[in-house]
Structure 1
Amino acid sequence: MQSRIPRQSTNDQATHGTDDDPRLDAESAAALAAARRRAVRDGDRQIDTAHLLHSLLEHDPRVRAVFGDGPQLARLLGYLVQRSIGYGLRWQSGVEDSGALPVVPLVEGFSPLAAAALEQACGRRAGPRVRGLELLAAIVTDRQARAVEVLTHAGVDVYELRARIDETLTAPQSAEYASGPEPAF
């Protein structure tokens, strides 16, 4: 029996990209690299917002912090793992694009929504580099994003999440985060 999951070649879109984007902080760059690996491993042709969400949760402690340490985070991570082991198969044949965001130049290897989120995060960055929270804020702005679908299925109130992100980004310690030394976690 032949596998329904297409194998990726090194020429597929998800294998190329901007992991070394100088606009990103260390956590965001690590998350982007992990999202790229996850997309390739999952057989997806493009990095989508759910790949970014999963990788941000793994690589940025500040992103995890906006979800708290309760059952909501555990449920979300469990849902993302389910997606990576098969739930996302229904998404493999489609491109993540709601048409709600303005057209941006396609970032190679990214779905249109993920590319738009990356550009939006770069446009709203408070410091010299895009932080994970700024990227998270951007990927949850479009209700049609796969990340929003994942969050909703995991029981996360996306409007409340956006408010927590905005509150965290505008808090006084956020300025230290933008320009000060990295905390030791």
Structure 2
Amino acid sequence: MPGGRAADGVGDVHFPIPRQSVTEPGGHRADNDARLGEELAAVVSGARRRAVRDGDRQIDTAHLLHSLLEHDSEARAVFEDGPQLARLLAYLVQRSIGYGLRWQGSVEDSGAVPVVAVTDGFSPLAAGAMEYAVERAVGRGGERAHGVDLLAALVMDPEARAVEVLTHAGIDVKTVLGGIERRLPDAW
């Protein structure tokens, strides 16, 4: 399939992640959101690139987790056990190279989180996690969300793909939350 075309000459089907203009009513780009800061904007941009490359319709919580671990040393530090972090990253790479195919074409939504009206290409759970990360930062008096705020948000719903990835990598979500609280106490 040279050049990304199928053997019969018909182009591969790709589902572009919708992009809403920041000038549209109610629209904003999460990777340009001042409440996230430069670090999390880079995380969102990385997750967006990963979703496009993987052929996924939406950015999900596993895309955000993978990008967060690549871009944010504070979030990586939550996983104090070096082999634990290595297992998690290896599992995320496996997702990128094929095991995540079972998720393609499906929407990540447990029904536990209210659907956000404007998702800007995010799954409902990923959009909710982005909003929760900002709310968490505001709750402790911060101006911008940190990587650990997003990490906490990604593991809040047991149906999130990020939680599934952690579980398959042998990482206990409660241990992750404990590590987050030691680094950036929650004001809730």
Match of 1:137 among 149, 152, 169: 152
Distance 1:14 1:38, change over 3 A: farther
1: CA distance, partners of 2:50 / 2:99: 14
Please list, as runs of the form range in 1=range in 2, the aligned pairs for 1:1-185 lying within 5 A after superposition. 1=7, 6-9=13-16, 12-13=17-18, 17-125=29-137, 126=140, 127-170=142-185
Query: SS where residue 108 of structure 2 aligns?
Result: coil
Choose 137-146 or 22-31, whichever is displaced more: 22-31
SS of corresponding position for 1:67: coil
What's the offset of the Cα at 1:104? 2.5
Q: Percent identity?
A: 62
CA distance in 2, matches of 1:80, 1:6: 24
**Separation in 2 of the partners of 1:6 and 1:71?**
38
1:23 and 1:122 in contact (8 A); partners too: yes
Letter in 2 for 1:104: V
Deviation per CA, 1:14-43: give whole Å up to 9, x if none. 798421111112221111100000000000
**CA-to-aligned-CA distance 1:73-102 (integer Å, 9 cap, x gap):** 000000000000111100011100000113
Partner Cα distance (2:20, 2:92) in 1: 21
Secondary structure of 1:13's match? coil
8 Å Cα contact 1:14/1:46 also seen in 2: no
Paired AA for residue 129 in structure 1: R
**How many aligned residue pairs are there?**
169
Whichever residue aligns with residue 68 of structure 2, its letter is L
Structure 2 unmatched ranges of 5 or more: 1-6, 22-28
The one-letter amino acid of 1:152's match is T
Separation of aligned partners in 2, 1:72 and 1:122 = 27
Give the alignment's TM-score, normalised by structure 1.
0.84
3-state SS in 2 of match to 1:115:
helix
Contact 2:20 2:120 in 1 (8 A): no
Indicate how the Cα distance of structure 1 residues 67 and 102 shifts in structure 2: closer, same or farther if over 3 A, else same. same
Structure 1 counterpart of 2:147, one-letter code: G
TM-score of the superposition, structure 2-length normalised? 0.83
Deviations 1:23-69 (A, max 9, x none): 11222111110000000000001000000000000000000000025
Inter-partner Cα distance in structure 2 for 1:156 and 1:81 = 16
Contact 1:106 1:112 in 2 (8 A): no
SS in 2 for 1:170: coil
The answer on whether the counterparts of 2:155 and 2:163 sit within 8 Å (CA) in structure 1 is yes
Mean CA deviation greater in 15-24 or 80-89: 15-24
